[in-house]
Amino acid sequence: MSKHNPKEHTRPIYMATNGLRDPDWRWRLAVSSAPVTRTTRRPDAICWHLVDYLASGDEWITSLDGTRRFSIRPLLAIQNDRLKRLTLESRVLAFRDITVAAEASRVPVQVAHDYCSIFFDVGDRLHAVRAIDSKIIHAAGHRDDIVRRELYWHAYFGGPLVAEHWLLHLPFVGCEAEHDLETPEGRQREQLELTMASREPGPEFYDSKLLPVYQQLLDREPKRRPYAECVQDHVTDALEAYWRSEPTEAARKILHSRIAA
Protein backbone atom coordinates (compact mmCIF):
# COMPACT_ATOMS: atom_id res chain seq x y z
CA MET A 1 0.00 0.00 0.00
CA SER A 2 1.41 3.37 -0.98
CA LYS A 3 2.00 5.93 1.72
CA HIS A 4 -0.18 9.02 1.92
CA ASN A 5 1.51 12.08 0.49
CA PRO A 6 0.31 15.27 2.24
CA LYS A 7 1.60 17.39 -0.64
CA GLU A 8 -1.09 15.98 -2.91
CA HIS A 9 -3.68 18.17 -1.15
CA THR A 10 -1.65 21.33 -1.70
CA ARG A 11 -1.43 21.02 -5.47
CA PRO A 12 -3.56 23.41 -7.55
CA ILE A 13 -6.82 21.96 -8.85
CA TYR A 14 -6.78 22.42 -12.61
CA MET A 15 -10.43 22.06 -13.55
CA ALA A 16 -12.84 24.39 -15.35
CA THR A 17 -15.40 23.81 -12.58
CA ASN A 18 -13.06 25.03 -9.84
CA GLY A 19 -14.29 28.52 -8.94
CA LEU A 20 -10.94 29.43 -7.38
CA ARG A 21 -8.85 28.33 -10.34
CA ASP A 22 -6.14 30.62 -11.67
CA PRO A 23 -7.19 32.55 -14.81
CA ASP A 24 -4.40 30.88 -16.81
CA TRP A 25 -5.00 27.40 -15.36
CA ARG A 26 -4.90 25.67 -18.75
CA TRP A 27 -1.51 27.17 -19.53
CA ARG A 28 -0.21 26.31 -16.05
CA LEU A 29 -1.45 22.75 -16.42
CA ALA A 30 0.28 22.38 -19.77
CA VAL A 31 3.55 23.75 -18.40
CA SER A 32 3.43 21.44 -15.39
CA SER A 33 2.53 18.42 -17.56
CA ALA A 34 5.11 18.59 -20.33
CA PRO A 35 6.38 16.06 -21.22
CA VAL A 36 3.26 13.94 -20.79
CA THR A 37 1.96 10.56 -21.90
CA ARG A 38 -1.38 9.90 -23.56
CA THR A 39 -2.54 7.99 -20.49
CA THR A 40 -2.45 11.18 -18.44
CA ARG A 41 -5.88 12.66 -17.83
CA ARG A 42 -6.47 16.19 -19.17
CA PRO A 43 -9.63 18.33 -18.79
CA ASP A 44 -10.09 19.25 -22.47
CA ALA A 45 -8.51 19.35 -25.93
CA ILE A 46 -6.98 22.79 -25.42
CA CYS A 47 -4.81 21.42 -22.62
CA TRP A 48 -3.57 18.61 -24.85
CA HIS A 49 -2.69 20.97 -27.67
CA LEU A 50 -0.91 23.36 -25.32
CA VAL A 51 1.23 20.45 -24.16
CA ASP A 52 1.97 19.65 -27.82
CA TYR A 53 2.92 23.27 -28.44
CA LEU A 54 5.32 23.33 -25.50
CA ALA A 55 6.80 19.95 -26.44
CA SER A 56 7.07 20.24 -30.22
CA GLY A 57 6.17 23.81 -31.20
CA ASP A 58 2.85 22.92 -32.89
CA GLU A 59 1.07 26.28 -32.66
CA TRP A 60 -2.42 25.13 -33.69
CA ILE A 61 -4.98 24.71 -30.92
CA THR A 62 -8.45 23.16 -31.18
CA SER A 63 -11.25 25.33 -29.81
CA LEU A 64 -13.29 24.23 -26.80
CA ASP A 65 -16.27 23.31 -28.98
CA GLY A 66 -14.02 21.38 -31.38
CA THR A 67 -15.26 23.25 -34.46
CA ARG A 68 -12.10 25.13 -35.45
CA ARG A 69 -8.37 25.49 -34.94
CA PHE A 70 -6.51 28.67 -34.07
CA SER A 71 -2.89 29.72 -33.73
CA ILE A 72 -1.54 30.46 -30.29
CA ARG A 73 0.88 33.08 -31.62
CA PRO A 74 -1.55 36.07 -31.55
CA LEU A 75 -2.47 35.09 -28.00
CA LEU A 76 1.14 34.99 -26.88
CA ALA A 77 1.66 38.39 -28.50
CA ILE A 78 -0.96 39.80 -26.12
CA GLN A 79 0.29 37.85 -23.13
CA ASN A 80 3.88 38.99 -23.64
CA ASP A 81 2.97 42.66 -24.23
CA ARG A 82 2.27 44.15 -20.81
CA LEU A 83 0.27 47.13 -22.08
CA LYS A 84 -1.91 45.05 -24.41
CA ARG A 85 -2.46 42.41 -21.73
CA LEU A 86 -3.45 44.87 -19.00
CA THR A 87 -5.67 46.80 -21.41
CA LEU A 88 -7.67 43.79 -22.59
CA GLU A 89 -7.93 42.07 -19.21
CA SER A 90 -8.93 45.21 -17.32
CA ARG A 91 -11.65 45.92 -19.88
CA VAL A 92 -12.98 42.39 -19.49
CA LEU A 93 -13.28 43.09 -15.76
CA ALA A 94 -14.87 46.49 -16.35
CA PHE A 95 -17.35 45.64 -19.12
CA ARG A 96 -18.03 42.08 -17.88
CA ASP A 97 -18.15 41.10 -21.56
CA ILE A 98 -15.25 39.76 -23.64
CA THR A 99 -16.72 40.89 -26.96
CA VAL A 100 -17.12 44.51 -25.87
CA ALA A 101 -13.67 44.47 -24.26
CA ALA A 102 -12.17 43.18 -27.51
CA GLU A 103 -13.88 45.85 -29.61
CA ALA A 104 -12.80 48.62 -27.25
CA SER A 105 -9.22 47.28 -27.32
CA ARG A 106 -9.25 46.86 -31.11
CA VAL A 107 -8.45 43.17 -30.76
CA PRO A 108 -10.23 40.70 -33.09
CA VAL A 109 -13.16 39.34 -31.11
CA GLN A 110 -12.31 35.69 -31.73
CA VAL A 111 -8.69 36.28 -30.74
CA ALA A 112 -9.87 37.84 -27.47
CA HIS A 113 -12.13 34.88 -26.71
CA ASP A 114 -9.33 32.43 -27.51
CA TYR A 115 -6.93 34.43 -25.37
CA CYS A 116 -9.30 34.36 -22.41
CA SER A 117 -9.85 30.61 -22.76
CA ILE A 118 -6.13 30.07 -22.14
CA PHE A 119 -4.78 33.05 -20.21
CA PHE A 120 -7.77 34.84 -18.63
CA ASP A 121 -10.52 32.30 -18.03
CA VAL A 122 -12.88 34.43 -15.92
CA GLY A 123 -15.99 34.74 -18.09
CA ASP A 124 -18.15 32.41 -16.00
CA ARG A 125 -17.32 33.98 -12.63
CA LEU A 126 -17.24 37.72 -13.22
CA HIS A 127 -20.13 37.96 -10.75
CA ALA A 128 -18.10 36.19 -8.03
CA VAL A 129 -16.56 39.15 -6.24
CA ARG A 130 -14.45 37.17 -3.78
CA ALA A 131 -13.01 34.93 -6.49
CA ILE A 132 -12.12 37.88 -8.73
CA ASP A 133 -10.63 39.81 -5.84
CA SER A 134 -8.48 36.95 -4.54
CA LYS A 135 -7.45 35.16 -7.74
CA ILE A 136 -7.33 38.04 -10.24
CA ILE A 137 -6.90 41.42 -8.57
CA HIS A 138 -4.71 40.17 -5.71
CA ALA A 139 -3.22 37.23 -7.61
CA ALA A 140 -0.25 35.77 -5.76
CA GLY A 141 1.85 35.70 -8.91
CA HIS A 142 1.45 39.47 -9.36
CA ARG A 143 1.84 40.48 -5.74
CA ASP A 144 4.47 43.14 -6.50
CA ASP A 145 2.71 44.66 -9.51
CA ILE A 146 0.95 47.59 -7.87
CA VAL A 147 -0.14 49.18 -11.15
CA ARG A 148 -1.86 45.98 -12.28
CA ARG A 149 -3.59 45.52 -8.95
CA GLU A 150 -4.91 49.07 -8.80
CA LEU A 151 -5.97 49.06 -12.46
CA TYR A 152 -7.88 45.79 -12.09
CA TRP A 153 -9.45 46.85 -8.79
CA HIS A 154 -10.71 50.15 -10.19
CA ALA A 155 -11.83 48.50 -13.44
CA TYR A 156 -13.81 45.76 -11.71
CA PHE A 157 -15.39 47.83 -8.96
CA GLY A 158 -15.54 51.15 -10.81
CA GLY A 159 -16.78 49.99 -14.20
CA PRO A 160 -16.01 51.18 -17.75
CA LEU A 161 -15.74 54.91 -17.04
CA VAL A 162 -13.18 54.49 -14.29
CA ALA A 163 -11.29 51.84 -16.25
CA GLU A 164 -10.99 54.05 -19.33
CA HIS A 165 -9.58 56.89 -17.25
CA TRP A 166 -6.88 54.61 -15.85
CA LEU A 167 -6.11 53.16 -19.27
CA LEU A 168 -5.75 56.65 -20.74
CA HIS A 169 -2.83 57.29 -18.39
CA LEU A 170 -1.54 53.72 -18.00
CA PRO A 171 1.65 54.15 -20.09
CA PHE A 172 2.71 57.09 -17.90
CA VAL A 173 2.10 55.88 -14.34
CA GLY A 174 4.07 53.52 -12.16
CA CYS A 175 7.28 54.13 -14.11
CA GLU A 176 8.81 56.90 -11.97
CA ALA A 177 8.00 59.51 -14.61
CA GLU A 178 7.87 63.19 -13.73
CA HIS A 179 4.40 64.64 -14.33
CA ASP A 180 3.85 68.24 -15.37
CA LEU A 181 1.48 69.64 -12.76
CA GLU A 182 0.84 72.67 -14.95
CA THR A 183 -1.24 70.51 -17.33
CA PRO A 184 -4.55 68.69 -16.69
CA GLU A 185 -3.03 65.41 -17.88
CA GLY A 186 -0.07 65.75 -15.55
CA ARG A 187 -2.29 66.47 -12.56
CA GLN A 188 -4.53 63.51 -13.36
CA ARG A 189 -1.51 61.20 -13.62
CA GLU A 190 -0.16 62.48 -10.33
CA GLN A 191 -3.57 61.79 -8.78
CA LEU A 192 -3.30 58.17 -9.90
CA GLU A 193 0.25 57.92 -8.58
CA LEU A 194 -0.92 59.21 -5.20
CA THR A 195 -3.83 56.76 -5.23
CA MET A 196 -1.41 53.86 -5.68
CA ALA A 197 1.07 55.22 -3.16
CA SER A 198 -1.62 55.67 -0.53
CA ARG A 199 -2.42 51.94 -0.62
CA GLU A 200 1.05 50.96 0.55
CA PRO A 201 2.82 54.20 1.45
CA GLY A 202 6.55 53.98 1.86
CA PRO A 203 8.68 56.35 3.94
CA GLU A 204 9.09 58.70 0.97
CA PHE A 205 5.31 59.18 0.84
CA TYR A 206 5.51 61.16 4.08
CA ASP A 207 8.56 63.15 3.03
CA SER A 208 7.94 66.78 4.01
CA LYS A 209 9.67 67.88 0.81
CA LEU A 210 6.67 66.55 -1.15
CA LEU A 211 4.11 68.64 0.71
CA PRO A 212 4.34 71.51 -1.83
CA VAL A 213 3.56 69.01 -4.61
CA TYR A 214 0.47 67.76 -2.79
CA GLN A 215 -0.59 71.34 -2.15
CA GLN A 216 -0.33 72.14 -5.87
CA LEU A 217 -2.68 69.26 -6.62
CA LEU A 218 -5.18 70.45 -4.05
CA ASP A 219 -4.98 74.03 -5.29
CA ARG A 220 -5.69 72.93 -8.85
CA GLU A 221 -8.57 70.65 -7.87
CA PRO A 222 -11.80 71.82 -9.56
CA LYS A 223 -13.54 74.13 -7.10
CA ARG A 224 -17.09 73.76 -8.29
CA ARG A 225 -17.26 70.08 -9.17
CA PRO A 226 -15.63 66.98 -7.64
CA TYR A 227 -12.66 65.51 -9.45
CA ALA A 228 -14.49 62.23 -10.11
CA GLU A 229 -17.28 64.02 -11.96
CA CYS A 230 -14.81 65.75 -14.25
CA VAL A 231 -13.17 62.41 -15.00
CA GLN A 232 -16.55 60.85 -15.73
CA ASP A 233 -17.47 63.60 -18.18
CA HIS A 234 -14.14 63.29 -19.97
CA VAL A 235 -14.32 59.51 -20.33
CA THR A 236 -18.01 59.52 -21.23
CA ASP A 237 -17.34 61.91 -24.10
CA ALA A 238 -14.49 59.71 -25.33
CA LEU A 239 -16.56 56.53 -25.15
CA GLU A 240 -19.54 58.18 -26.79
CA ALA A 241 -17.40 59.31 -29.72
CA TYR A 242 -15.92 55.84 -30.10
CA TRP A 243 -19.21 53.94 -29.99
CA ARG A 244 -20.89 56.40 -32.34
CA SER A 245 -18.10 55.88 -34.87
CA GLU A 246 -18.27 52.08 -34.60
CA PRO A 247 -21.64 51.04 -33.13
CA THR A 248 -22.11 47.37 -32.26
CA GLU A 249 -24.91 45.24 -30.87
CA ALA A 250 -22.72 44.27 -27.92
CA ALA A 251 -22.19 47.92 -27.05
CA ARG A 252 -25.91 48.59 -27.08
CA LYS A 253 -26.48 45.74 -24.64
CA ILE A 254 -23.77 46.68 -22.19
CA LEU A 255 -23.31 50.43 -22.26
CA HIS A 256 -25.64 53.26 -21.35
CA SER A 257 -28.01 54.12 -24.17
CA ARG A 258 -26.54 57.60 -24.55
CA ILE A 259 -23.07 56.16 -25.14
CA ALA A 260 -24.05 53.24 -27.36
CA ALA A 261 -26.68 55.02 -29.46
pLDDT (tens, 9 = 90+) of the chain, 261 residues, equals 434 444 433 445 456 666 678 899 999 888 887 655 555 556 777 888 888 888 888 889 988 888 889 999 999 999 999 999 999 999 999 999 999 999 999 999 999 999 999 999 998 889 989 889 999 999 988 988 999 999 999 999 999 989 999 999 999 998 888 888 888 888 888 888 888 877 765 555 555 566 566 556 556 655 555 444 544 555 555 555 655 666 566 555 555 544 444
Nearest residue to 15 (alpha-carbon basis) of 44, 51, 36, 57: 44
Residues 6+ apart with CB under 8 A from 198: 205
- Return the amino acid letter for 195: T
C-alpha–C-alpha distance, residues 8 and 5, integer Å: 6
| The model scores a pTM over 0.75 | no
pLDDT of residue 197: 79
Q: Distance between CA atoms of 200 and 45, rounded to whole angstroms? A: 42
Looking at residue 117, the DSSP 8-state letter turns out to be: H
Confidence (pLDDT) at 30: 86
Check residue 260 and give its pLDDT. Answer: 45
pLDDT at position 177 is 87
Rounded to whole angstroms, how far apart are CA atoms 91 and 181? Answer: 28
Compute the distance between CA of residue 171 and CA of residue 219 in angstroms, rounded to an integer.
26
